[in-house]
Each structure stands twice: as structure tokens, then as C-alpha cells.
Chains A and B, each alone.
Chain A
Amino acid sequence: MAKSFHIVVCAGIVPDPLQTLEPATGPTGPAIKNEMLLPAILDPWAACALYEAAKLAQEHPGSRVWLVSLAPKAKLQQLMMNVAQKAAFELVAIDGPIGGFADAHGTAAALAESIGAIPGLDRSKLLLFGGWESATRGAGVTLQLVGERLGIADQFQGVDRIDILDDGSFEVLERVEGGRHQASICAGAPAVLGWATGSLPEPRNNPQLGMANMRTLMPAIQRARTVAIDANGLHYVSTSVPTQQRATRVVKDLSPDEIAHELAEWIGAE
């Protein structure tokens, strides 16, 4: 069985988690106020998927990695300057709306169509990677829908590890309830893997890699096809920021003994 892979990583762009988010009404429905102006990052779980993909490709010569991202061109251009320094990949850019309020089914349709049209993609070697949930919509369904549209019969979500075995099959660890992993052996590609954190730290910036990547990234962004995302009957009745401000009591004058007693009483109280 093939030991080289064609790895397609789906990754969105999300506001930096340190930013304050305020809902607003845009021309097509709810949006985040000034979302285009907010500093953005590659979706964190999808970024883990990209790093895992790059490592897997490095370990299996002949493998290729594509990063498929749906976002406004300008935002993609900004972000890729940084992402390009982290891992080697070919970009498939799709010019579309940013934000977590677009319908996942419409997004999946656009992604699947673009992936299906990647020149040279061998579906028998395809590993479809992405985050198991995004930091925007956080539904955990887009990757699954893309896999289903591409006719992939094996899917794994909340993946923290993949080990390729000698015969081309692989062992995969998926997160399940109670802080454990479910271990499975899959016969091999094609498969969908929605990554959780994985096991790799964020790679350091590598300017040489960035320069090499940028030669193909900029043309890919320029030729990005523009898509509109179908709402599929989804209607937002309201969006709001929950008020969670608490009347905090700051205790500065108790000894560790007194604090421990107070906490023990609190822990024991029903």
C-alpha cells in the first residue's frame, strides 16, 4: 500500500483570541464588529493539523501538502506571510466571507469543490486534515461534511496522534470523554482526520521556508475563486455577548491557614 500521502489541510482564519469580540449586523446577517480589522491567526486546531501534516509529509518522501483556506483575499495575504514560515505547503485559496456565522454546509460545499479540483491530487492517497472544531463557528461539522462530499468512508475526530504502520495502514488516537483516547487501526488512505492539539509544538519561524512558500502562495491568492456561501435556511434570531461580570471579592488580608479553612468549607458545602 502507498506510503506517500496527499495531505489536504482545511484551515480557516479566526480573530486573535486576545481580541474583544462584539456582535454587529452586516449586510448578509450577523458579523463581528470590525472583524476585517482585527488581528487574525490561523485557526488554532487547524494550525495543529498543518504542523502534523508537514511532519508526516517530511517522514514519507513523495508526499505533498495543500492548505485550503476560505477567507477574504486581503486577510489571506496578511496571514500567509507568517504561516508560510511554519510549514511547507501549496496554497489553495478561496475568496469568501470571514467569520463564524456562515453556514457550515455552504462552507463545506465550497471547500469540497475546490479540493476536488486540485490538479494532481490522488484521492487514493488523500488524508483530509483540519481542526476538529474551529474557533469561530465551533460546530465540528465542516470537515466531516467535506469528507462526506468527497466520498471518504473513514473519519476520525479529535485526533491527537497518527502513526503510519509498515503496510500503509495507520493507528489513530481520537479524544473521547473522560480525558482518554480511542485507538483505532485504519486500513489506510483515504481518510478524514479532524485534529485536536496533536503532539507538536508550534514550529519556529523559518524565513527561508517562508520565501520558498511565498513564490507559489501569492499567485495562488491572486487566482482564488470567489464564492458566496449559501445560508441553507439558517436564520439568526439574535446574537449577543453574555454578561458574565461577577462582583469579585478580593481577599488580601487572610493567612494561608484562614484561606484554606474558607476553601475547605466552600468545597464541602452543597
Chain B
Amino acid sequence: MESVLVLTHCDEAGATLSKGSLAAIGAGKQLAGRLGSPLAIGIVDEDSEKLAANLPAPGARWLAVSGEAFAQPRFASDAAACAAICRAAQATIILAPQSSRFARVLAAVAHRMNGRIDTHIASMGGAGGLDATRWHYRQRIEAVIRRGSRPWFLLYDGAADASNAAETAPAHIERVAVELPPPRTTVTGMRSPEQAAAGAQGGSPRLGTIRPDAKLLLVAGAGWTKKQPDGKIHTAEAGDLILRFVQVSGASLGSSKSLVDQSGEGNSVLPFLTHLNQVGQTGATPRHRKGLATCCHGEEPHVVGWRFIGERRAVSLDPNCGWTRGKADVVYIADAFQVLARLNSLLGQSRPL
């Protein structure tokens, strides 16, 4: 008989379980229900006691590794903590959120537990067993997989079903002891490349342009830095228009590889863009409800990063660009400089700065 363990951690503030953890709990609860399996939930956190009054999944067994060493994500301490919880729970299926914290350690934990791991799990199903769906070749091929060996670790990257983790109740949390190796790594803090860039130029730090929770993604392509109809390059104007749009719309800012590569090669182009903004084959695969591409060709290596963007529109001067070939819902053949200037003005009226 299968048994399910969901590994979780808190959000950065340490006050509540992270969004990804709640999604994993929801998926774990559903899976345990379907398989008729017991459900255990493990927490790795500085102080899990403060969470005890208000935990989702009533009826689950709760286990925690707590202490100052677990306040910050770090391979050595997190791997030891997760392995200790896995030993205590003795589950056959271990789910965890596909967060940077757990993606850094769970393969090592699987190895320590003589288990196997699969990551970026988009959904789980299967009749009477567990089939997991994941992507290969950067969202270009979808595979349904099954494993005969246990324990099976799965990093869940699927959509959250809020109803599955919404019900909360006080819970008794069992403490799990863990012996840590001598510390060799100290986490010193978080940094934003945008802030670093602004500081280097003597400017004030800007608000972050990468906003995973935003409804809209704006993608800037290399066309913004090319010669415009007047035969000149208008990089500064392009930068102002893009940043202004991000401010007034609340959108997250993405970029094509060609545009961020120009920045990396020392050219003076949109300085607020870094490789962290890059969307596509060698960049991010964001999950926004809507996406607006501007001055971007819509080539396949970029568009694979749009796999999980719901509604897609594009503004391009090229009527034969990739977006027109079934990759976007609407493509406007127009000058993005003019469109964005007017759009900023319209959105600024409804949401003044």
C-alpha cells in the first residue's frame, strides 16, 4: 500500500507555508484520497510552532524539522532536514513544491533514501496507481511517466487547487531531530540584479520588473533596439516606454534572448534587462494569464517559454513573424513605439503614478 508524504517550507517571511507548498499539499491530499493512502506532511522551517494553529489538511500527520539553521535555504541543512523527515514518515510517494529551495536538495535526498526523483510534474493521474505528466525538451514534448521503484520523489509544478488546501485546523506537530554537518555555507541575503544595475549607474533602485504573480507578461524583443522608420535607434525612448508600461499595468517584464544578450555583450541597450528576464528555451517559462509580445519575432526557441501563458497577443511590424503562424491569438501589425505610448497614456489615466 502506498503512503504519501508532502514536504513543505514557509514563504520568505516565515509566517505561512509558501504558495507552492500549499499547492503541493492540495495535490498530495487529492492523491492520498484517490489511492486510499495515509497522508503525512513535513515542514522545514525556523519555527513551525507558530504555524500549528492554522494548518491545512486536517487529519494528516504533521512532522517538522525546526531551528535557526532552517530559516534560510541551504543545501546541507535542507537536505539533512528533508532526509530526516522522510526517514520518520517512511512514505512511498514524496511530493514537494518545485521551489528553488527544494529543487536544490530533493534529488540528493532521493539518493540518500535510495529513492528516485522526477521533477517539474505538471499533473498526476492514473487508474489505481500514479502516472505523472512532465515536459521534456523545454516544454516541447509532453510525457506521462510511471515508476516501479519506491520511494518516488516528485517535485510538483502544477496548478494549485485552492479548495484542496483551504480547510485549516490546529494540528499537533511531531518534532523530528536532525544532526547537521559542520556548516560550510552561510547565506548572506537576497539581491536583485536590477537594484545592482541601478546602483552601478548612480540611480535609485527600481521596483522589481519580474513579478511572478502578475496577471500580464510584457515581452520586449530585440526590435526595440533596431533602427526605426526615421533611420535612427531610440533605445532610451524604448526603455522609458517599457518601464512606464510595467509601472502602469503592473505587468511582469520578460525579454527575448537576443535582447538580453545584447546587454551582456556590453552594448548600451535596455540596462534594466538581465538574463533573469529572459523567456524561452534558455530562459524562464512563466505562468501568467496573459502575455503581450512587442518587437519580437516569435521564433520557436522563444515561444516554448510561453507554453503556460493563457491569452497571447503581439505587436509587430512584420506580418510574417512567428506569432502570426498560430502562436498568438491576436497579432497587431503596427509600430510598438506608437502603440505603447498611447497604451501607457490610457492605462496611466486609470491608474495614475
Residues of A within 8 A of B (CB): 15, 17-18, 20-21, 23, 30, 32, 44-45, 100-101, 103-105, 135-141, 144-145, 147-149, 153-158, 160, 171, 173-188, 196-197, 199-201, 232-242, 244-252, 254, 256-257, 259-264, 266-268
Contacts and interface: CB of A to CB of B under 8 A. Distances in A.
B143 interface: yes
Given A15-B137, A145-B107, A236-B144, 12 more contacts: A23-B141, A101-B136, A103-B116, A135-B281, A139-B119, A179-B276, A188-B184, A201-B261, A237-B146, A250-B319, A263-B339, A266-B290
Dominant secondary structure of chain B at its interface with chain A: mixed
B137 A135 contact: yes
The 9 closest A-B pairs by CB, nearest first: A179-B210, A233-B149, A141-B107, A260-B342, A233-B148, A256-B338, A197-B275, A144-B107, A17-B301
B104 A185 contact: no
Contacts, number: 272
B73 interface: yes
Given A30-B143, A154-B184, A260 B343 contact: yes
Nearest to A252: B333
20 contacts: A104-B117, A137-B136, A140-B120, A144-B108, A154-B185, A160-B193, A176-B101, A177-B100, A179-B192, A199-B264, A237-B143, A248-B331, A252-B333, A256-B338, A256-B339, A263-B332, A264-B347, A264-B350, A266-B311, A268-B350
A84 B211 CA distance: 39
B128 interface: no
B323 A135 contact: no
Nearest to A23: B141
Nearest to A131: B282
Contacts of B136: 100-101, 136-138, 239
Interface in B199-231: 208-212, 216
Contacts of A175: 100, 276
Given A45-B282, A184-B187, A234-B116, A136 B75 contact: no
Nearest to A48: B282
B175 interface: no
Contacts of A241: 140-142
Most buried by B among A158, A173, A260: A260
Contact count band on B: 35 or more
Nearest to A101: B136
Contacts of A186: 184-185
B177 interface: no
Contacts of A196: 275
Contacts of A244: 307, 326-327
B188 A185 contact: yes
B256 interface: no
Contacts of A30: 143
Contacts of A140: 103, 107, 119-120
Given A135-B137, A237-B131, A256-B339, A153 B76 contact: yes
B293 to A, nearest CB: 12
Contacts of A154: 75-76, 184-185
Interface string B123-165: 0000000010001111011111111110000000000000000
A179 B278 CA distance: 10
Contacts of B142: 239-242
A25 B345 CA distance: 54
A76 B225 CA distance: 37
A252 B300 CA distance: 23
A241 B143 CA distance: 9
B324 interface: yes
B177 to A, nearest CB: 20
A259 B334 contact: yes
A138 to B, nearest CB: 6
Given A179-B192, A254-B334, A248 B75 contact: no
A181 B264 contact: no
A55 to B, nearest CB: 14
A15 B197 CA distance: 34
B265 interface: yes
B232 to A, nearest CB: 19
Contacts of A247: 326, 329
B63 interface: no
A249 B329 contact: yes
A245 B201 CA distance: 43
B275 to A, nearest CB: 4
Contacts of A201: 261, 264-265
B115 to A, nearest CB: 9
B194 to A, nearest CB: 7
A32 B141 CA distance: 10
